[in-house]
């Protein structure tokens, strides 16, 4: 699934969202991607080899390319982690929200 931040000018590694079945939270390293933001400091595990600091959380609008369609979606409670190398879309959080992702034959679909 290619999902890009709504403020994208040119695609970079930090603009691409990767579905991650191991992360318990959506993670974004780009402060300007947040529609809303509540600052806080929380230590989290699993971003690289050491603990990382989440500097807050908020809502992020993403655009998902599914086939020939572009579907927009607002992610809630996204952690802002500037040290993260890319954006992570938590598969477990999608499941909790009754969302779904279909992956097959090398592509994501509805």
Please report the pLDDT score of residue 14 as a whole number: 67
Q: Which fold has domain 2-109?
A: Cathepsin D, subunit A; domain 1 (2.40.70)
94 backbone dihedrals φ, ψ, rounded to 5°: -60, -40
Q: Note the maximum CA span of the chain.
A: 41
Residue 79: exposed, middle, or buried by beta-carbon count in 10 A (0-12, 13-18, 19+)?
A: buried
Q: In whole angstroms, how far apart are CA 24 and each of 6, 94, 104, 105?
A: 23, 10, 23, 26
- Provide the whole-model pTM: 0.79
Domain-by-domain residue ranges, the chain? Answer: 2-109
For 67: left if phi > 0, alpha if psi spans -120 to 50, otherwise beta; the answer is left
Please report the pLDDT score of residue 97 as a whole number: 84
Please report the pLDDT score of residue 6 as a whole number: 44
In angstroms, rounded to a whole number, what is the distance separating the alpha carbons of residues 38 and 110? Answer: 32
Please report the pLDDT score of residue 47 as a whole number: 66
pLDDT, tens digit, 9 for 90 and up, residues 69-95? 898 989 999 999 998 888 999 988 888
Low-confidence ranges of the chain (pLDDT < 70): 1-14, 46-48, 106-110
Please report the pLDDT score of residue 33 as a whole number: 94
């Amino acid at each position: 699934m290619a999902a890009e931040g709504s403020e994208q000018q040119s695609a970079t590694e930090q603009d691409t969202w990767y579905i991650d079945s191991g992360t318990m939270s959506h993670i974004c390293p780009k402060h300007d991607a947040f529609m809303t933001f509540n600052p806080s400091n929380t230590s989290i595990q699993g971003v690289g080899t050491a603990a990382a600091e989440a500097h807050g959380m908020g809502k992020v609008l993403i655009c998902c390319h599914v086939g020939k369609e572009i579907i927009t979606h607002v992610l809630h409670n996204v952690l802002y982690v500037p040290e993260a190398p890319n954006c992570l879309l938590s598969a477990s959080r999608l499941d909790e929200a009754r969302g779904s992702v279909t992956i097959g034959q090398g592509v994501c679909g509805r």
